[in-house]
A and B are shown apart, each in its own frame.
Chain A
């Protein structure tokens, strides 16, 4: 194991977003807070979804998770596509770094960015809704598993895409709908049966639902089931990403 090689690549990936933290940390924080303010204002009259949790507060974990997923996805995918398009991916491909080391460095950095965005959103939201999470460990597990899944998905998308617009399509037609339809703004119990059943195939739903359970101790799906589904999806996608990296698909021609 080339531990130094791995940690160097991890450091590079962390520096890459840290150096532009205005766009990578502050911008998502601001947009999430805007969502929160606007929706909270518009929907202020709505009934509680869970007893003791106002609709406005209900939004917080969903929005935080959505911001995390989008940011961890975009960290791996944009790093990969930028390196491919500008050609500097060769500096990684010609090193002795193994597929696993490359995978782990890219994904961990993205998880770190997602978690950082999530932490910022949560800290700011404390000012509006001072509440200590019901199950902090569980919450942390969902942060890790959810960000991992999104980061791996971003890595695969970045490897697959050959141009920026392909990546944008991936994001607009897959990631955004999946997050929006994952119950950020509603409980799936409020959906018509068809949509409710369809939603059950969306892994993002379980991340958000499980994460919300970590906050409020209340959820639509049993948290253990959610964690299992998210974890299994993340594991399966990780295997796919590792196979792609080992084969050099779209990287080593």
Chain B
């Protein structure tokens, strides 16, 4: 059953080169069946990974992933590709480390090169309190067996000589924390790799098919209405990133979520220059260099709820100001492109991976800035939650009910609705 298509290998490459035969499509494009054991709504990284782990870890293969556009058109193809596991709060620390471990074996597991590049991430500190905070976080990581190194100013200078260390620097750099195993992944390859592997197990990937409502039998969800007709499902799972509230409304649910626009940016390509991922400590800003040479960076959400996927210009300006405050030498680089994606924002900045008040309906959403790096762990833990009808131990703190119980999970300690502060 596994890998209905060609297995990728050096031998297959030679074979295809010599024979000139076309490569088969990486995943099948079947017609919808009338019913499935599990329907996953949303063919982003999370939905496709969930389908893959349902098949690979739980033997559940009568599964459909329903995507309203094409695979990779959502945030999985719009993010800035950073992966890391430097989180402070119990629950987050373990979950994101589990994810990073899965990333480390993913190319082999999927037989698809996701181009994980563990180039290391440096988080900068600009005042003594921040450096203390990083030391605390690093210690917590190390107690959990995760790599973390505290850097003083001299070490940061040697590692990242192109930052502004002059007396005129707006935010002097005192030190930083390095996670060597952090880095970047080729985001499109993640969508395609999971799609191909899931399809190989028999999962149907239904593109250009929009979910428009739910089929109900009392408080039980029994399937979905789509632009291609109704499809029955034993279990239905929502994985639609910035559109969680829209899907929830179709089921009569309201969520602790607002949808917001996040932009990302890439400059014209230059020679290899930025070898690591760098996170500014004075503002939400991070930068890395892509294999094509462009500097890829991002910052805050635009600041008001939106589904437009089109960024506002003032944010381009403030993010560029961060870039130049940190690295004056790039001030004359031209911006090649910028784009936006819609992401859920939650009161505490943490997501949801859980059952819902409706039987047969499962929910993964509320992913603010950190959803890409979580993709493999979301897939594995959400698949477990669906297969066992009970939350995976690593995500028990991510329930929809946590605010009712005054149990918010606030990594940055900024209080309710981080973006509103």
Whether chain B is bound by chain A comes out as no
